[in-house]
Chains A and B, each alone.
Chain A
Amino acid sequence: SAVISQKPSRDICQRGTSLTIQCQVDSQVTMMFWYRQQPGQSLTLIATANQGSEATYESGFVIDKFPISRPNLTFSTLTVSNMSPEDSSIYLCSVVPLLDNYGYTFGSGTRLTVV
């Protein structure tokens, strides 16, 4: 299965600033997703990262707040912009490997605290 390196693993940020989270996979994948897991909650899909084009955002999430890039088949970034304490969450990258269309794999997550 794919191995995901997600960085940073955690960060404490000041409100009003931005943080970029990186997701690097050791093999080619077809799909890349970004999820948010608020404290004590389940996972909510933010967007699907599309290679070479704009990400597809879920209802309630917008590009200005969560810009996403995916320059190639193995790398994506999520930026959390103009942060407020409500953005304190775990952000997870998820991928679907090229050779396993149902093998959804998750990174270890980025634990973000906004103060």
Chain B
Amino acid sequence: AQSVTQLDSQVPVFEEAPVELRCNYSSSVSVYLFWYVQYPNQGLQLLLKYLSGSTLVESINGFEAEFNKSQTSFHLRKPSVHISDTAEYFCAVRTQGAQKLVFGQGTRLTINP
């Protein structure tokens, strides 16, 4: 069965600093990978996803993630964070042939001024 591990439960950074949120997955078959963001007291919003093709995917608000098959990772990065990026970030995986998403434990990103 597939699993997702987010290595950091909390990541505090200063505003305008770079950030990387780590995600590793385990699966014996091909995967589709997702990052979701949950702002305080709100639902989940899709940030970006990898389905196929270019291993680097980008979101409209400056985040990017790179699919690394050899390291079974899908880390999320942003070169310069803003206070408004404060949220919980979830990595999720769907394996080929399955329909459901399996989520990691989440990483709480806190931006300090």
Q: Which A residues fall within an 8 A CB radius of B?
A: 31, 33, 41-45, 48, 92, 94, 96, 102-109
In angstroms, Cα B105 to Cα A103, docked, is: 21
Chain B residues lying within 8 Å of A92, measured Cβ to Cβ, are 43-44
Q: Which B residues fall within an 8 A CB radius of A?
A: 32, 34, 36, 42-46, 49, 51, 90, 92, 94, 99-106
User: Are A104 and B101 in touch, CB under 8 angstroms?
Assistant: yes
Smallest CB separation, A18 vs chain B (Å): 23
Interface of B is mostly: strand
Smallest CB separation, B43 vs chain A (Å): 4
Q: Which residue of A lies closest to B94 (CB)?
A: A102
Known contacts A102-B49, A104-B34, A107-B43; is-contact A42 B105 (Cβ 8 Å)? yes
Chain B residues lying within 8 Å of A41, measured Cβ to Cβ, are 105-106
Q: Of B44, B45, B94, which is in contact with the most chain A CB atoms at under 10 Å from its CB?
A: B44
Chain A residues lying within 8 Å of B106, measured Cβ to Cβ, are 41-42
Chain A residues lying within 8 Å of B46, measured Cβ to Cβ, are 103-105
Specify which of A31, A42, A105 is in contact with B103 (CB 8 Å cutoff): A42
User: Are B103 and A106 in touch, CB under 8 angstroms?
Assistant: no
User: Are A108 and B90 in touch, CB under 8 angstroms?
Assistant: no
Specify which of B43, B94, B99, B100 is in contact with A108 (CB 8 Å cutoff): B43
User: Are B100 and A43 in touch, CB under 8 angstroms?
Assistant: no
User: Are A43 and B34 in touch, CB under 8 angstroms?
Assistant: no
User: Are A102 and B103 in touch, CB under 8 angstroms?
Assistant: no
